[in-house]
Amino acid sequence: MKFQAHQAFRAMILFAFFAFLIKLHMSGDILKYVNPKYNFLSQTAAYLFLFLFFIQCTRIWTRKNKHGEHCYHKCNHDHGDSHSPVKKRIAYSILTFPLLTGFFLPAKLMDASMASKKGIILNGTVGLQKEAKSETGTPPSLYAQEEKIAIDHEVAVDRKEVKKEAYDEKMKQLENAEVIDMNEEVFDPYYGQISENPEKYKGRTLKMKGFVYKEKGFQPNQFAMTRFLITHCVADATSIGFLTEFEKAQTLQQDTWLEIEGTLELTTYNGWEMPLIKVNSWKVIKEPKEPYVYPIWIKIL
Amino acid sequence: MDRGIRLFFLDLMLLMLGAVIIYFGFFSDGITNQNSSFQMPSSFLQLNTIFLSILIEAIPFVLLGVFIAGFIQIFITEEQIQKWIPKNRFSAVLMSCVVGACFPACECGIVPIVRRLVAKGVPIYAGVGFLLTGPLINPIVILSTYMAFGNDLKMASLRMGVGFAAALIIALVTSLVFRKNQLKRVPENTIEHGLNPKASFVKKFWHMLKHAIDEFFDMGKYLILGAFFAAFIQTYVSAQSLLQIGEGWVSSTLVMMGLAYLLSLCSEADAFIGASFRNLFPTSSILAFLIYGPMLDLKNTIMLFSVFKVKFVLYLMVIITATVFMCVSFLSGL
């Protein structure tokens, strides 16, 4: 029997990918990378890696005098034994790199510095994408559902896909609730609605969580209450937020997480008419467990 | 001999290193948490997070891709492919584009499949058609585009229609310029390739899995490199500075195409990003963004370079860029 070191190494890499993905799921850190709607994809991938690991294990020991069990058919791809040793090691270093950084470096949340790179938070363009959804009509209050969601986190994770009726219901609540509560579940559609027709919501009270983002053009008493919207993974994050006015704004640092309640007003910024929140009450909060918001997918059937 | 021993020890060290990594990574809560003196710059952590998120997002599709590639390698013979692909060049291109449109894939998962198909004797232009429409046109992409643009069918149908036309043109132009298979490593003795066709199904299946593993290791490194570059650009290059260039129709279209290339977004997610530019740029520029991104981006370019000859990839990039640009300009001229 001959020990095939590179095959063993490959087996280990496969196992490490499995371990990495499972670790992310177990610790919940996966939320910091991808939209939970796609969790099943990475879970499936994890188990496929485990499966491939077992297959690969059978190749670690080969009988002697056999010139590599896989060489009898020549094909144009790398079996791991065709390259020069140096090239092979470079290849394996590349493959190990994401595992190293993945296991050892903490995931970092998107913050204000990324928001400034991505641009486009306040011009309201993001909001416009919701146009056709705006025909939904009228009433009751948010609180009943809200509590349920807060308690049941399991539901919270799967909820990004909602039924049409439930969605309509939520949108009705936006129109009639005393306080517009921008919780994670409805953040994106509500944000779209409000930035699209700021006039309609003028004078209403709004409650939201977000982090402080300041930009050069802002007045000293202004900042943006910002969230990142993740469609698939953090690479496609868009920052969305409301311009906020608050006399103590100067004392607030970039990236501070706040929960505020305020009144919606109208303002213009860089020639765009947009909503403005005048803060009535506020408190500094810890970074929430679910820092990102996600677009809602409406189940049509 | 000496060299062999040294390599053996290097391997042994790598193995041990790997074991240590798995042990600490999995069973402790990450070393960095306890040891605060070891601090990475926050922009690198950000880069790393984006890099890993692109990988996590792409890996399921790449695994699917390597399984299909393995399947093609073992179960499909060259004779079958000869029989299926029409002799006529135009109908071959048309067929490949239609097959690609029915096939759900992403732009990195499809590269190993195309390579395998081309190695099995599919003409390069048909391979290109498949490569382009696979990630661009599929139910998930249509649905997400539809939703991103406010449940409006116009953008989704333009994306499909113009994208399909562009893919046809690109594949046809390719068929005029290139004849040979353009693969970097030409398969030797392709006849010996498959197993004995009479081998049992279980044996074939077993070989398919091994092929899938080899294919994963072959493609994986390029995927990782590509994802890293894309994350690097996202972290250190400000999109806003790019956008300031984009005044006027031509330059805004070019900027959007550049953005699509550099961001390397998955075709399922890019519609929402595209939609957020609606007030800044004309529809045609957004359309260019939506069509160009799935066809060509930073991370799949690196994979293409690993599979095809450099000259071919460069030509293909020029053809794709020019065609998408012209298709979109033609549309906005109407």
Q: Which helix (H) or strand (E) holds B229?
A: helix B201-236
pLDDT at residue B45 greater than cutoff 70 = yes
Q: Minimal Cα–Cα distance from A20 to chain B, Å?
A: 8
Chain B interface includes A241 (CB < 8 A): no
Chain B interface includes A227 (CB < 8 A): no
pLDDT at residue A52 greater than cutoff 50 = yes
The first and second tokens of residue A7, run together, are 């095959």
Mutate to test the interface with A, among B28, B29, B45, B48 (most CBs of A within 10 A): B48
- Using 50, 70 and 90 to split pLDDT, how confident is the model at B225? confident
C-beta separation of B48 from B193 below 8 A: no
ipTM metric? 0.79
Helix (H, G, I), strand (E, B) or coil at B76: coil
More confident residue, A132 or A232: A232
What are the Cα distances from residue A2, in Å, to A83, A188, A277, B6, B10? 20, 58, 71, 17, 17
Chain B interface includes A40 (CB < 8 A): no
Residues A54-70, mean pLDDT to the nearest whole number? 70
- Using 50, 70 and 90 to split pLDDT, how confident is the model at A300? low
Q: Which of A66-80, B209-223, B236-250 has the highest mean pLDDT?
A: B209-223
Model pLDDT, residue B188: 43
Q: Which of A202-206, A289-293, B325-329 has the highest mean pLDDT?
A: B325-329
For A14, residues 6+ apart whose C-beta sits below 8 A from its C-beta are: A49, A50, A52, A53, A56, B213
The first and second tokens of residue A229, run together, are 């919207």
Chain A interface includes B161 (CB < 8 A): no
pLDDT at residue A261 greater than cutoff 60 = yes
Say if the Cβ atoms of B150 and A6 lie within 8 Å.
Answer: no
pLDDT at residue B213 greater than cutoff 70 = yes
Residues of B in contact with A75 (CB under 8 A): 73, 119, 187, 193
pLDDT at residue A226 greater than cutoff 80 = yes
How many angstroms separate the CA atoms of A272 and A275, rounded? 10
Chain A interface includes B238 (CB < 8 A): yes
Q: Minimal Cα–Cα distance from A110 to chain B, Å?
A: 7
* Domain locations in chain A as residue ranges: 2-104, 112-299
Say if the Cβ atoms of A19 and B26 lie within 8 Å.
Answer: yes
Count CB atoms within 10 A of the CB of residue B198.
5
Say if the Cβ atoms of A235 and B230 lie within 8 Å.
Answer: yes
Q: For residue range B116-173, list pLDDT tens digits in order.
A: 888 888 889 999 999 999 888 887 788 878 877 766 788 889 999 999 999 999 999 9
Model pLDDT, residue B27: 54
Q: Minimal Cα–Cα distance from A157 to chain B, Å?
A: 18
C-beta separation of A198 from A275 below 8 A: yes
More confident residue, A132 or B258: B258
Chain B interface includes A52 (CB < 8 A): yes
Closest residue of A to B186, CA-based?
Answer: A76
Chain B interface includes A233 (CB < 8 A): yes
Interface of A with B in 108-167 (CB under 8 A): 108-111, 113-114, 116-120, 123-126, 128-133
- Which residue among B11, B237, B278 sits closest to A9, beta carbon to beta carbon? B11
Write down the residue that tokens 């209450």 correspond to.
A225
Top-level CATH class of A112-299?
A: mainly beta
Chain A interface includes B177 (CB < 8 A): no
Say if the Cβ atoms of A75 and B119 lie within 8 Å.
Answer: yes
Residues of B in contact with A130 (CB under 8 A): 150
Model pLDDT, residue A88: 79
- Using 50, 70 and 90 to split pLDDT, how confident is the model at A288? confident
pLDDT at residue A294 greater than cutoff 80 = yes
- Using 50, 70 and 90 to split pLDDT, how confident is the model at A119? low
Q: Minimal Cα–Cα distance from A84 to chain B, Å?
A: 11
The first and second tokens of residue A289, run together, are 């467990």
Residue type, B22: I
CA angle B245, B248, B253 (to 5 degrees): 75
Model pLDDT, residue A54: 92
Residues of A in contact with B235 (CB under 8 A): 114, 117
Q: Which of A291-295, B146-150, B262-266 has the highest mean pLDDT?
A: A291-295
Model pLDDT, residue B110: 87
The first and second tokens of residue B229, run together, are 């570059």
C-beta separation of B265 from A236 below 8 A: yes
Query: Which range is least confidently modeled, A60-74, B210-224, B296-310?
Result: A60-74
Say if the Cβ atoms of B152 and A132 lie within 8 Å.
Answer: yes
